[in-house]
Amino acid sequence: MDPVPGYFAVHGQGLGHASRAIALVRGLQEKAPELEFLFLAGSPALDLLVASGFDVMPLPPVPDWPAERGRLRPAWRWYVEYARYLRVARRFLRKDADWSHYRFLISEGELASVLEARRRGTPAALIVNSVRRDFARDGVSRLAERAANAWTARRLRKVDLLLTFEPAPAWPNARRTDPAVRPFSRSRDQLRDDFFFRKKTILVTAGGTAIGEFLLDAAVRAFRELDLADASMVLVSGPKLKASPAPGVYTYGFIPNLHDMVLAADLVITTAGRGTVSEALAAGTPLIAIPPQGHAEQEATARSLGFRHEDVGRMKELILEGLAVERGEPRSSQGGTAIGMLLDFVRAEGKI
C-alpha cells in the first residue's frame, strides 16, 4: 500500500498540545498504517515530538503568556505577540512547506499552518480547546480579545473539520470530542521500579511554560515544612524553568515520558493544564490542580476539580489530603472519538 503523507501541526506553547498529538498520530497509524506524518512545531513542543521519535519541521516559537508570580499580566501583550508569530510562521510555511507532496493537514491548535493550508486549497482539520479565548481582565485587553475572537471565528468556520474539547458551536464543520492521552508504557508497579519510587511519591509538574514557577516554589516549601518521613517529592520543571534540589526533593527538567511518571506517582500537583490533568485522570492518580491567576482555561479546569488559584496558600493541607486519597485504576483514554472523526476526514477527502 502506497504511503499517504500529511502534515500534523502542533501549537508550540507548552507540552499539552504535543502530548495529545502523539496519542492521536499513534492511534491513526494503528488504524491506517499507510498514513505518514511530518510534524510542524516550535519549541518546546518540538522537543517532545523529537524525543518521541517523530520527524519535525521546526516552526518559530509561540510567545508565552506574560506572567509574574503566578498571575497573568494584561492579555493584550500576548495578542500583539501572537499576531506577530502568525505573520512570521506563515511566511516560513509559504517558503519551506511542500504543499504539493503533503496531501492534508491536521493541526493541534496551530493556526498559522491552517491559514496557509486554506490558502493553498489543502484539506485541513483543526483541534482546539475552545473556539474563543476569555483571558482579558482590563479594557485594552478586552478590545484586543474581542477583535481576536471575531477574526479567529471567521477562520475556524472555514476549516474542513473543527474538533473542540468544549461544547461545539452550531457550525456544520464543528464537533465535540474527548481528550487524547498517550498510552502508558508499562504497569504502575513496573514504572515505580523503573523510576526508583520507593516511598510515597509526590510529582510536581510546571508544564512547558514558565508560568508554573509559583507552584514549584509553593509545593517545595509545603513539603519541607511537613517533613514527611514516608514521602518524597519529584519536581519536573519543564524546558523553561530550573528547580533547585532540596532534601527529599528530586529535580528533573524535561521528561518526554511524563505520562508514565504520572501513573507511577501517588499524587500529582499541576498548574491545571488540560494535558496533565487528563493524564492523571486516565492514570487514576489523585491530583492537586492550582491554576495561574487569570489563565481562563486552566482556571476552568481547576474549578471543575474543586480547586482555585488561592488554594496555593493551603498547600500543606492539600498534600496531606491528596496522599490519603485512594488511587483509581488506570483506564484507556487515547482519544478514540477524535481518531475516528479524523480518519473520516482523511477518507472524505479521498486521501485513503
Mean pLDDT of 81-104: 95
Distance of CA 263 to the CA centre of its chain: 17
Q: What pLDDT is attached to residue 69? A: 80
222 and 240 assigned to the same domain: yes
Cell of 174: 464543528
Tell me if 26 is assigned to some domain: yes
pLDDT digits (tens, 9 = 90+) for 75-88: 999 999 999 999 99
Over pLDDT 70: what percentage of the chain? Answer: 98
| Helices of type H across the chain | 16-31, 45-51, 76-96, 111-120, 139-156, 188-195, 213-226, 258-264, 274-283, 296-304, 315-324, 336-348
Average pLDDT, the chain: 92
pLDDT band at 348, cuts 50/70/90? confident
Residue 335 in this model has a pLDDT that exceeds 80: no
- Tens digits of residue pLDDT in 273-303: 888 999 999 999 999 999 999 888 899 999 9
Contact at 8 Å (CB) between 280 and 268? yes
Q: Which residue has the cell 521500579?
A: 193
Please state the rounded mean pLDDT for residues 134-152: 94
Domain of residue 239, residue span: 188-324
Residue 24 falls within a domain, yes or no? Answer: yes
Question: Does the residue 329 lie in any domain?
Answer: no
Confidence at 223, pLDDT banded by 50, 70, 90 = very high
Using the 8-state DSSP alphabet, how is residue 56 labeled?
E
**Of residues 135, 303, 280, 293, the one with CA closest to residue 205:** 280
Note whether residue 41 is domain-resident. yes
- Answering whether pTM is above 0.75, one says yes
- CATH at 216: 3.40.50.2000
Beta-sheet strands, E only, within 149-210:
161-164, 174-176, 200-205
Same domain, 59 and 130: yes
Instruction: Calculate mean pLDDT across residues 330-334.
Output: 76
Res 68: pLDDT: 79
Q: What is the pLDDT of residue 29?
A: 94
Do 127 and 194 reside in the same domain of the chain?
A: no
Provide the domain count of the chain: 2
- Give yes or no: residues 259 and 162 share one domain: no
Q: Are residues 10 and 66 in the same domain?
A: yes
Is there a single domain that holds both residue 143 and residue 206? no
172 and 198 fall within a common domain: no
Rounded average pLDDT over 40-44:
93
Answer yes or no: is 18 within a domain.
yes
